[in-house]
């Protein structure tokens, strides 16, 4: 088979990136974390000191290069994999990603990256905007308390000083911003399979999605 596109969407803390990365590793496919791309733009905007609320300030995207290498993300030749997880980036990424110009430039890159090969792409608008014709679409959900607990644990493991109540508040705010923005809001594609991960382990989620991938692959082979 020349190519397969798996789209995984969901709100903050639903496990999209972790699960997508594991699936890609298990299957030997390419993983593209679109959320990391928007974080990279936000980081660059903060470092440039632009007016984050002014859409015309983001013209630096015309010359900015974002690329992946072994699941590390780079701005030009600088590895920013850890820097894009800074609290200031988390606080501003919804604003930055709400601008039509920013989303247009990122979607162009994302579509291009998914043209060939076996792709696992995760984000918030993959099944609806970036890859509307994906071979399989998964929409991950989980209770906000569970998503906050996961994000809190992740931050603590990285040595960050965080407060669980603040994490819950941050995720709740992000949910509202992502689902109400005018351009490409977070929503489940009509043909996506919804999977509530609240009471599931990471391995259980990965297994359930791989089962769906194998079913779809089998149907595609039989159909062809």
> Residue 69's domain is classified under what CATH number?
3.40.50.300
pTM: 0.87
Domain for residue 109, yes or no?
Answer: yes
d(CA 75, CA 81): 9
Asked whether residue 224 is domain-assigned, the answer is no
Please give the pLDDT value at position 155.
Answer: 86
Residues 6+ apart with CB under 8 A from 25: 31
* Cα-Cα end-to-end distance for the chain: 10
In-domain check, residue 62: yes
28, part of any domain = yes
Dihedral sign for Cα atoms in the order 76, 77, 81, 83: negative
Percent of the chain as helix, strand, coil, to the nearest 5 = 55, 15, 30
Does 139 reside within a domain?
yes
| Number of structural domains found in the chain | 1
Tokens for 188?
Answer: 């489940």
Considering only CA atoms, which of 91, 96, 88 is closest in space to residue 54? 96
What angle do the packed helices 34-48 and 100-113 form, to 10 degrees?
130
**How many CB atoms sit inside 10 A of residue 80's CB?**
21
Q: Which residues pair with 33 in a beta bridge?
A: 122
pLDDT truncated to tens, each residue of the chain (224 aa)? 678 999 999 998 899 999 999 999 999 999 999 999 999 999 999 999 999 999 999 999 999 999 887 778 999 999 999 999 998 999 999 899 999 999 999 999 899 889 889 999 999 999 999 999 999 999 999 999 999 999 999 889 988 888 999 999 999 998 998 899 888 889 999 999 999 999 999 999 999 999 999 999 998 877 65
Domain that holds residue 205: 3-219
Secondary structure element (H or E) that encloses residue 31, with its range: strand 30-33
Phi/psi of residue 106, each to 5°?
-70, -40
């Amino acid at each position: 088979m020349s190519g397969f596109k798996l789209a995984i969407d969901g709100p903050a803390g639903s496990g999209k990136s972790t699960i997508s990365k594991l699936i890609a590793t298990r299957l030997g496919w390419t993983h593209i974390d679109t959320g990391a791309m928007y974080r990279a733009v936000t980081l660059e905007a903060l470092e440039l000191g632009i007016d984050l609320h002014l859409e015309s300030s983001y013209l630096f995207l015309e010359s900015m290069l974002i690329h992946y290498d072994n699941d590390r993300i780079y701005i030009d030749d600088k590895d920013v994999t850890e820097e894009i997880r800074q609290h200031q980036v988390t606080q501003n990424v919804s604003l930055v990603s709400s601008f039509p110009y920013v989303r247009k430039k990122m979607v162009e890159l994302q579509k291009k990256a998914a043209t060939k090969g076996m792709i696992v792409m995760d984000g918030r608008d993959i099944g609806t905007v970036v890859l509307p014709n994906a071979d399989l679409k998964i929409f991950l959900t989980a209770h906000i308390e569970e998503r906050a607990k996961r994000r809190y644990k992740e931050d603590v493991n990285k040595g960050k000083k965080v407060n669980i109540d603040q994490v819950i508040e941050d995720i709740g705010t992000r949910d509202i911003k992502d689902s109400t923005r005018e351009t490409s809001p977070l929503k489940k594609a009509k043909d996506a399979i919804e999977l509530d991960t609240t009471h599931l382990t990471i391995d259980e989620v990965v297994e359930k999605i791989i089962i769906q991938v194998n079913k779809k692959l089998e149907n595609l082979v039989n159909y062809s």
